[in-house]
Amino acid sequence: MTPRPLFFENVPLAPLSTLEVGGKARLFSQLHSAEELPEILLRGEREGLPLFWLGGGSNLLFPDGLFQALVVRNHLRGVTPLPEGVEALSGTPLMSLVAWAARSGWSGLEPLAGIPGTLGGALSGNVGANGRELFDLVQELTLFREGRWERLSREGLSVSYRNGPFPPSTLFYHSCRLRLRREDPAVVRQRCREFILKRLEKIPGNPPKVKSAGSFFRNPTLPSGEKRAAGFLLERVGAKGMRVGGAGVSEKHANFLVNLGEATCADFLGLSDLLRERVKETFGVELQQEVLNAWEHLER
């Protein structure tokens, strides 16, 4: 029998994102099985609410007040080994997938060790670290778009720096196949450890201890054509330690905006504007947010 999804009204969003800001979702549900999708879609349609697919909430800013959407948290989890890699469901936390691969002697994911969130969010934003991106490993995607299931191979999909093949929230990523290679588990584990240690040296800390959404701005290209880390430019304009209300810039990493206590979404937007202005004045470049404003990414 098809499991029936449950729906909840006016659900607080702050605990569902690593920045821990935001008001309430008008409607909220959790996806535990692909068979629940039709009923969830139908309910959104009936209520006239756009859908918002939520993973780990580690790259998101939720609005203050009432978020007029049906927020669906993805709990589809699981990993299946294949002859040349793995197939994983999109709600699998990326960290669990990396740990599973290391334990099972599959190499390839190590540079991404320590990135929070789910595989679905990682596909949506083509996450990357240490010079590698998730789509370097993707072989095939299974997704639900415009009422249909589709299986797409990696060839023909165009991805770029922090952009998956499709705009955020225009579809639901169900699962993907990753091409990995066999290696001694001890060696893979050691490599993961090294990448995690390197990460911990650079960042102010992981959620929930430090409430951030990782790098707040994308790394820009200067008018001269030179590529620069957003953190470098922000540090140069004196961003470290700046704050608006409860939102502040980390003293350790100028591209990490953190919730210092009771920050609101408006605090983060105010701080983001201020930082963008300063960088524009000094370097002539418009910083783009890497963190997504949830209200700009609704599936209608």
Ligand X SMILES: Cc1cc2nc3c(=O)[nH]c(=O)nc-3n(C[C@H](O)[C@H](O)[C@H](O)COP(=O)(O)OP(=O)(O)OC[C@H]3O[C@@H](n4cnc5c(N)ncnc54)[C@H](O)[C@@H]3O)c2cc1C
Point out which residues bind ligand X (CB under 6 A): 18, 52-60, 74, 90, 115-118, 120-122, 124-125, 127-129, 168-169, 172-173, 203, 206-207, 212-214, 292, 297
Distance from C-alpha of 50 to C-alpha of 187, rounded to nearest angstrom:
46
Identify which of residues 133 and 267 has a Cβ nearer to ligand X in the complex: 133
3-state secondary structure of 262: coil
- Give ∠ CA 85-87-88 in degrees, rounded to 5: 125
Rounded to a whole number of angstroms, the minimum distance from the CB of residue 291 to ligand X is: 8
Q: Measured from the CB of residue 67, what is the shortest distance to ligand X in angstroms?
A: 12
- Which residues are within 8 A (CB) of 122 and not within 5 positions of it... i.e. 6 or more apart? 94, 112, 115, 134
Q: Cβ closer to ligand X: 56 or 278?
A: 56
Cα separation, 298 vs 300, in Å, equals 6
First to last CA, the chain: 29
Write out the catalytic residue numbers: 162, 215, 290
Number of continuous H segments (helices) and E segments (strands) in the chain: 6, 19
Q: Find how far residue 8's CA is from the centre of its chain.
A: 24
From the CB of 270, what's the least distance to ligand X, in Å?
21
Report, in Å, the least distance between residue 174 CB and ligand X: 7
Tokens 């605990």 -> residue: 15
Q: Which is nearer to ligand X, 172 or 278 (CB)?
A: 172
**Least gap, CB of 118 to ligand X (angstroms):** 4
Which CB, 74 or 264, lies closer to ligand X?
74
Shortest distance in whole angstroms from residue 224 CB to ligand X = 25
Residues in Cβ contact with 60 at an 8 Å cutoff, skipping those fewer than 6 apart: 17, 19, 54, 213, 291, 292, 294
Give whole-number Cα distances, 198 to 63, 217, 228, in Å: 33, 20, 20
Is the distance from CB of 50 to CB of 300 less than 8 angstroms? yes
Which one, 254 or 278, has the nearer CB to ligand X?
254
Q: What share of the chain is helix, strand, coil (3-state, %, to 5)?
A: 30, 30, 40
Look up residue 287 and give its two tokens.
């910083």
> Judged by CB, which is closer to ligand X: 120, or 246?
120
